[in-house]
Chain A
Amino acid sequence: MKALDDMWQDVPVASFEDLAGARRRLMDGMRTRRRVLTAPRLLVAAGVAAAAVAAPLIAGGGTPAYAVTENPDGTITVVLNEMRDPEGLRADLLAAGVTADVSFLAPRTRCADPRFEGTDPSYGSPGPTGALRTGVERWRSFQATQVVDVHEIRIRPEFIRPGETLVLEFRDNRNAQRPWTLGAWLARAGSPVKPCTPVPDPA
């Protein structure tokens, strides 16, 4: 019916801006629900000695792919049991106050670079040079993220400045003793992080 078609054509498809408010409401609603679901796990964690960080995170019934815990000292613990659901991990880190980009990589691959501009020379550095060794002690990319156990990293938000993105690239090692290798860097504020394109990396 042409009259109806004409009437329809008068209204353009919604733009990104038109939809931003509705999308934000959906994301907020989803996050609220997710927080409610994860709260019992956090309560269990809080009831156990703070030093025993790994055990309580898995005590929520079944083993989750990952667990994100905000610690009383302001740091964030991430236990990674399985390399799946990078978007979920990213969203949970965001809920904990850390803007992150998470990629899970197959063995012998890495993300093609450069994906972003780093806050320090650690990203794209050619190898273990003297500068890199010195940088380990003072570059914020290293200070912001530490691997503290076989399945566990600790994030220290005090070293992440507003607008920066914590970029985490986990590579599967297929090895129970050393399940993954982590590349962790800070992307400069204003530098968007491109999606990860896996490429072969024999190293």
Chain B
Amino acid sequence: MTTTREVVAADDATLIGRSLHEPEIFAVLFDRHAPLLHRYVTRRLGPGEAEDVVADTFLAAFQSRGAYDRGRPDARPWLYGIASNMIGRRRRAETGLYRAYLRSGVHPGEIAGARVEDGVNTLAVNRPLARALLRLKRADRDVLLLVAWAGLTYQEVADALAIPPGTVASRLNRARAQIRQSLGEGERP
């Protein structure tokens, strides 16, 4: 009966379509996807940038929602594609984060609370990984992390970044190979 009940069951494309005439509906899309998007951005840029990037992503999405392909019920590729552009504009923040990792082994988001106890493991595992991520080309890193952290499929990454699925596969293979090689180096005495 109420709008609230209807929108809970609606897919993303339906919500986006309705938001053209009822803009407030778009907030439901935010509530649905912002928690994980915030986590993804925090992981990539650190907590200091996450709020801005999430807000900018959803505002940009809201403003361009008229062009959304409503044949795609899941809006995650679209949102993560916009977020990837936003992250790209903050490349320095991302590479700075990995460099900080290499120095301290601790993500700024992990300093508080129980993570301190895990610091040794974090140091051991993540320094080589941070170095590897830092060395990746930006385009390869986007593909790798959209798969590994955002949980997108090859096709969804292709949609998000507007590249062919074959390119997704080749970038992913290259990124994984580099990561494996770097982690192998890190394990050497």
Flag the segment in A18-26, A44-52, A71-79, A119-127 that touches B.
A18-26
Give chain B interface residues in 39-76, CB to chain A under 8 Å. 39, 42-43, 50-52, 54-55, 58-59, 62-63
A8 B34 Cβ-Cβ under 8 A? no
Kindly supply a per-residue 1/0 record for chain B positions 107-126, scoring 1 wherever the CB is within 8 Å of any chain A CB and 0 otherwise. Answer: 10110000100100010011
The answer, yes or no, to whether A137 is at the interface (CB within 8 Å) is: no
Q: Is the interface of B mostly helix, strand, loop or mixed?
A: helix
Q: Is the CB of A105 within 8 A of B1?
A: yes
Once the chains bind, are A87 and B35 in contact (CB under 8 Å)? Answer: no
CB contact between A87 and one of B24, B107, B148 (< 8 Å): that residue: B24
Of B30, B50, B107, B125, which is within 8 A of A26 by CB? Answer: B30
Cross-chain contact B23 with A33 (CB below 8 angstroms): yes
User: Can you name the residue of chain B whose Cβ is closest to the Cβ of A16?
Assistant: B35
- Residues of A in contact with B, size category: 35 or more
Instruction: Judge if B179 is at the interface, Cβ distance under 8 Å.
Output: yes
**Pick the contact of A13 from B35, B125, B176 — CB < 8 Å?**
B35
Contact (Cβ within 8 A) A10 B1: no
Residue A203 interfacial (CB < 8 Å):
no
| B62 pairs with A3, CB closer than 8 A | no
Taken together as a complex, chains A and B put the C-alpha atoms of A26 and B23 apart, in Å, by: 11
Q: Does B27 contact A (CB under 8 A)?
A: yes
Contacts of A91 in B (CB 8 A): 23-24
From 8 to 40 in chain A, residues with beta carbon under 8 angstroms from any chain B beta carbon are 8, 10-14, 18-19, 21-23, 25-27, 29-30, 33-34
Contact A23 B23 (CB under 8 A): no
Contact B2 A14 (CB under 8 A): no
Which residues of chain B are near A87, meaning CB under 8 Å?
3-4, 22, 24-25
CB distance from A25 to the nearest CB of B (A): 4
Are B129 and A4 in contact (CB-based, < 8 A)?
yes
Contact with A along B1-29 (1 / 0, CB 8 A): 11111000000000000000111111100
Query: Complex: how many Å from CA A33 to CA B25?
Result: 14
Collect the chain A residues with CB atoms within 8 Å of residue B107's CB. 10-11
Which A residues form the contact surface with B (CB < 8 A)? 1, 3-8, 10-14, 18-19, 21-23, 25-27, 29-30, 33-34, 85-88, 90-91, 103-106, 109, 195-196, 198
8 contacts between A and B (CB under 8 A): A1-B148, A3-B129, A22-B54, A22-B55, A30-B62, A33-B63, A88-B24, A195-B4
Instruction: A22-B55, A26-B55, A86-B2 are known; give 10 further A-B pairs, CB within 8 A.
Output: A4-B149, A6-B126, A11-B42, A22-B38, A23-B27, A25-B59, A87-B3, A88-B22, A195-B4, A198-B1
